[in-house]
Structure 1
Amino acid sequence: MKRNGPSPRRQGGALPRKTTPARQFAVTEPTELLLFLLDKLAGQGRNSVKSILAHGQVSVDDRVETKYNHPLKPGQIVSISKDKKTTAPGLIGLRILHEDDDVIVVYKDAGLLSIATEQETELTAYRQLTAHVRLKNEKNRIFVLHRLDRETSGVMMFAKSERVQQKMQDNWSEVVKERSYVALVEGLVKKSQGTITSWLKESSTLKMYSSQNSNDGQHAVTHYKVLKASRAYSLLEVNLETGRKNQIRVHMQDIGHPVVGDKKYGAKSKSIGRLGLHARVLSFEHPTTGQLMRFESPIPKPFLSQFAEDSAKH
């Protein structure tokens, strides 16, 4: 991964600091950990005690414990440290590339929803990152800046305040300097590069489609360049001038080369077991420092392996 700008906060291990002796309490009767702490730390509020637990400052017999309902037995020793030890909870299908006071940049795996819909209540990038920022303060939140489709992998970011969200979204085309994807599409794309322009509309079945009539929908512009090509597949670098829902997927169908695995938009091939779309580069001007930040992720190996397989067949 390449990155410029402010260095990311450490995601692993405790930050070095002076340690102070832990307070210790002996357990004299069966109870649960949170109840025990509320009793022993009577001067602190419930949220404060929960925060101490969440930050890994509580140990039972020298083993860090964060569960509120962890059972305690007589004879055990509960230690409370002033030093925060835990990192963020384990993230599933998600990796933090950079985090500061204003933004959080992540790599999302294919298969993970960015944000839940009304019908979806499963694990999402948004939900996991909300839990992550609330480790520091229960009132912390994250705010949506853009989305990646469930089956699209790659780099995306969220704001950490409504102010930053508004500032970046109001000036999105100026703030975002580069937003490029790689798309594995069906067939041989003969033009080495091109631009696709249309007006995108959404059908009653929630499927996007192109209208050639001016001002009939949302204006969408996609630029592409062929990186690799064979008779069966083409690997394209795709740059978005506009960021509309399903824009790349619709435009690839429009030129007769649907994205691999994209049955919704005309694909017949399922050769890589996922959608052949990956958000490779995200570059933007930091909303506070003004510094240019750039994050690049490698092209997924299954995208490249298709060309070796295809050449072996011919």
Structure 2
Amino acid sequence: MKQLDKENLYNILFIDNHLLVVNKSADFLTQGEEGTINLQDILKNDLKKKFQKKSVFLHALYRLDKPVSGILVFLRSQKALSRMNEDMRNKKINKKYLAVCENIFLEKEKVLENFLIHGSFKAKIVQKESANAKKAILKYKVLKEKNNLSLIEIDLITGRYHQIRAQLSNISHPVLGDKKYGSKKDFKKIALECVEISLIHPTLKEEKVFKIDSTLKF
């Protein structure tokens, strides 16, 4: 599979009339306020040029945090937006991440379940009864360990703001390089990537699986 050119913001993995799947590099917003540099606006401009149109429909199915790289799905039609949002609500879309975390996990495989609130600049784990708290669930599995670091695979069950970063930090395993959530070690970015997504195509009604090779060296 063609790998992401480090000089580029994105690499197209799949495109048709309803879906656009890309591999996003780190340090760019998925979406943003008007005037900000973000991938969705850049893709819109590139699609307008490619298809010689004055306007195009494009909406991110989910977001990746600015410092996170990996697979992003954009919807190119209102029909796709409606159907895929319903699939997201019904948890029919599966995402896998890889992360390098600090410290060695005592439990090599576990489901983490917490309640999060969306703060101004980071997520915070709170008690269930807290106002605006939302349930956050993920499953992790340790793949490799060395030098007091752990490579883990993550199945993201819910998709909350900064969920993976906050939940791993809460159990004393912050993502490598994620200073916002307690990492003490330097890294060129935060060591977290979305490496696989499986979904049902909104019109073809067949399963599509998209994968990338991780850039995390371990």
In the superposition, the TM-score normalised over structure 1's length comes to: 0.63
Question: Relative to 1, partners in 2 of residues 1:293 and 1:132: Cα closer, same or farther, differing over 3 Å?
Answer: same
Calculate percent identity across the aligned residue pairs: 29
Counterparts of residues 166-185 of structure 1 (less than 5 Å): 166-174=82-90, 176-185=92-101
CA contact (8 A) 2:79 2:202 kept: no
Deviation at 1:280, TM superposition (A): 0.6
State the distance in 2 between where 1:174 and 1:150 align: 26
Distance 1:184 1:160, change over 3 A: same
Instruction: State the Cα deviation string for residues 214-247 of structure 1 (Å, max 9, x = none).
Output: 5751111010000111242001000111000100
Q: Write the letter of the residue equivalent to 1:279.
A: C
Partners of 1:227 and 1:184 in 2: CA distance: 10
The equivalences for 1:1-314 within 5 A come to: 1=1, 92-117=8-33, 121-122=36-37, 124-135=38-49, 136=51, 137-174=53-90, 176-203=92-119, 205-214=120-129, 216=131, 217-270=133-186, 272-302=187-217, 304=218
State how far apart, in whole Å, the 2-side matches of 1:176 and 1:261 are.
31
- 1:279 offset after TM fit, Å? 0.3
Deviation, structure 1 residue 211: 1.5
Task: Answer whether contact 1:143 1:162 (CA < 8 A) is retained.
Answer: no
- Which structure has more relative contact order (CA 8 Å, sep 6+)? It is 2
Q: Tell me how far apart the structure 1 counterparts of residues 169 and 55 of structure 2 sit (CA, whole Å).
A: 44
CA shift for structure 1 position 208? 0.7
AA matched with 2:144? K
Structure 1 distance, partners of 2:41, 2:80, is: 19
When the two structures are aligned, how many residues end up with a matched partner? Answer: 211
> Quick one: distance in 2 between partners of 1:190 and 1:229?
11
**1:301, CA displacement in angstroms?**
3.9
More strand by share: 2
| Alpha-carbon RMSD | 1.9
| Secondary structure in structure 2 of the residue aligned to 1:164 | helix
Deviation at 1:290, TM superposition (A): 0.6
Q: Cα distance 1:286–1:175, how it changes in 2: closer, same or farther (>3 A)?
A: farther
Q: For residues 260 and 219 of structure 1, do their structure 2 counterparts lie closer, same or farther at Cα, with a shift above 3 Å needed?
A: same
Q: Is the 8 A contact 2:60 2:72 kept in 1?
A: no
Structure label with greater radius of gyration:
1
For 1:137-186, what per-residue CA distance to the aligned partner results, in whole angstroms no more than 9, with x for missing partners?
22222112101011111111100122311221122154744200001110
The answer for unaligned runs of 5 or more in structure 2 is none
- The runs of at least 4 consecutive aligned structure 1 residues that moved more than 6 Å come to none
Please say if residues 68 and 192 of structure 2, whose CA atoms lie closer than 8 Å, have aligned partners that are also in contact.
Answer: yes
Query: Normalising by the residue count of structure 2, what TM-score does the alignment of the two structures yield?
Result: 0.90
1:212 Cα deviation after fit = 3.2
Q: Distance in 1 between matches of 2:103 and 2:113?
A: 21
Distance 1:281 1:196, change over 3 A: same
Q: Is the Cα–Cα contact under 8 Å of residues 105 and 156 in structure 1 kept in the other structure?
A: yes
Partners of 1:213 and 1:178 in 2: how far apart?
25
Q: Contact 2:113 / 2:135 at 8 angstroms: preserved in 1? A: yes
